[in-house]
């Protein structure tokens, strides 16, 4: 039944915060729903009634000259809000070994809270962009800095993502938004088999987030998204699935509360321990929060 909320503190592994009046964010141009400030006060209003004990900030595809500024800005926000415990920043990993100097400068901005890198792949026309030799070389640098990699792709890019994970066995990966399957069109295959193949690799976790956005509008039903959520839960198992709110992008498909209530309803079959892992424990371990 829709309406329930987790009755214990959760960790939101996927939070965006932005102010277009301060920074250039090209993809927001023309997006009336999202092209304004979404800060911590707006997040608190959206999550009213839910105890969020920690958050992980995810880079926002900010214009390239602002990449380091973004990390510095979020670090200052975190100084004022102890819930903001992790930062996943952007870095030009496609430059291979030359990305090392950028990573050094990035980590130096906040060594305790910068936990990972996300170099967006979803917008690349070349479906094999992320397995170019220099990109792979850049991803292989991340363990040297104690960083993980967030994979943000669309489902046609899954085969290359599987190859990337296999070629970087020392790097810890997390798949954002369950690989952005074709929920709107009810496309389950070949996504299901590809998810199974990805889950067979031990160095990758799955973030259960962004699912309602892929449904295309707010007219989706719980039955529309249930097969996708249930499949990743079964494929990755209770120790490698992580809740993410995807605020405020979630608003393109649902309110924050509706997404939480939907996921809660879809996980009633899980044990209390498994639920706590999904909603908090696995995110704390994967992103090394509190370390």
Q: Which two tokens stand for residue 60?
A: 């926002």
pLDDT at 291: 76
Global pTM exceeds 0.85: yes
3-state secondary structure 36-51: CCECHHHHHHHCCCCC
Provide the β-strand partners of residue 174: 150, 205
Nearby residues of 41 by Cβ (< 8 Å), 6 or more positions away? none
Phi, psi of 10 (to 5 degrees): -115, 165
Q: Which two tokens stand for residue 87?
A: 């930062």
User: Residue 194 and residue 186: Cα distance in Å, rounded?
Assistant: 16
Low-confidence ranges of the chain (pLDDT < 50): 1-2
User: Residue 180 and residue 152: Cα distance in Å, rounded?
Assistant: 8
pLDDT at 217: 80
User: Residue 189 and residue 42: Cα distance in Å, rounded?
Assistant: 37
Determine the 3-state secondary structure of 116 from DSSP.
strand
Cα(first)–Cα(last) distance of the chain, in Å? Answer: 37
Which single residue is written with the structure tokens 């809000």? 81
**Residue 121 DSSP one-character state:** -
CA nearest neighbour of 279 among 238, 220, 247: 238
- 88-102, pLDDT tens digit by residue? 999 999 999 999 999
Cβ atoms of residues 85 and 290 within 8 Å = yes
- 188-226, pLDDT tens digit by residue? 999 999 999 999 999 999 999 999 999 988 789 999 999
pLDDT at 1: 39
CA nearest neighbour of 239 among 266, 210, 211, 199: 199
User: Residue 164 and residue 79: Cα distance in Å, rounded?
Assistant: 35
Cβ atoms of residues 66 and 96 within 8 Å = no
Domain assignments of the chain as residue spans, ordered by start: 10-286
Q: According to CATH, what is the number of the domain 10-286?
A: 3.20.20.140
pLDDT at 3: 56
Cα–Cα distance list, 276 to 203, 208, 242, 253 (Å): 21, 14, 10, 25
pLDDT at 171: 98
Q: Which two tokens stand for residue 198?
A: 């990805």
User: Residue 45 and residue 48: Cα distance in Å, rounded?
Assistant: 5
Cβ atoms of residues 223 and 259 within 8 Å = no
């Amino acid at each position: 039944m829709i309406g329930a909320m987790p009755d214990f503190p959760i960790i939101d592994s996927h939070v965006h915060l932005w102010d277009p009046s301060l920074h250039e964010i090209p993809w927001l141009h023309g997006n009336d729903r999202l092209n304004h400030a979404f800060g911590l006060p707006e997040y608190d209003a959206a999550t009213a009634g839910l105890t969020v004990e920690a958050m992980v900030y995810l880079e926002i595809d900010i214009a390239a000259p602002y990449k380091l500024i973004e990390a510095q800005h979020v670090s200052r926000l975190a100084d004022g809000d102890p819930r903001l415990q992790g930062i996943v920043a952007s870095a030009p990993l496609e430059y291979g070994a030359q990305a090392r100097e950028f990573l050094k400068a990035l980590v130096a901005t906040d060594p305790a809270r910068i936990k990972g890198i996300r170099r967006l792949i979803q917008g690349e026309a070349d479906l094999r962009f992320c397995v170019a030799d220099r990109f792979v070389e850049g991803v292989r640098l991340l363990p040297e800095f104690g960083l993980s990699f967030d994979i943000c792709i669309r489902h046609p890019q899954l085969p290359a993502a599987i190859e990337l994970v296999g070629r970087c066995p020392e790097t810890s990966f997390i798949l954002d938004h369950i690989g952005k399957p074709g929920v709107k069109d009810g496309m389950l295959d070949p996504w299901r088999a590809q998810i199974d193949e990805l889950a067979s690799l031990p160095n990758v976790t799955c973030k259960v987030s962004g699912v309602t956005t892929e449904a295309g509008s707010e007219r989706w039903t719980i039955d529309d998204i249930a097969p996708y959520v249930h499949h990743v839960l079964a494929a990755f198992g209770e120790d490698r699935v992580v809740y993410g709110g995807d605020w405020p992008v979630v608003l393109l498909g649902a309110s924050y509360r509706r997404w939480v209530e939907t996921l809660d309803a879809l996980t009633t079959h899980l044990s209390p321990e498994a639920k706590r892992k999904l909603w908090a424990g696995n995110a704390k371990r994967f992103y090394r929060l509190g370390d």
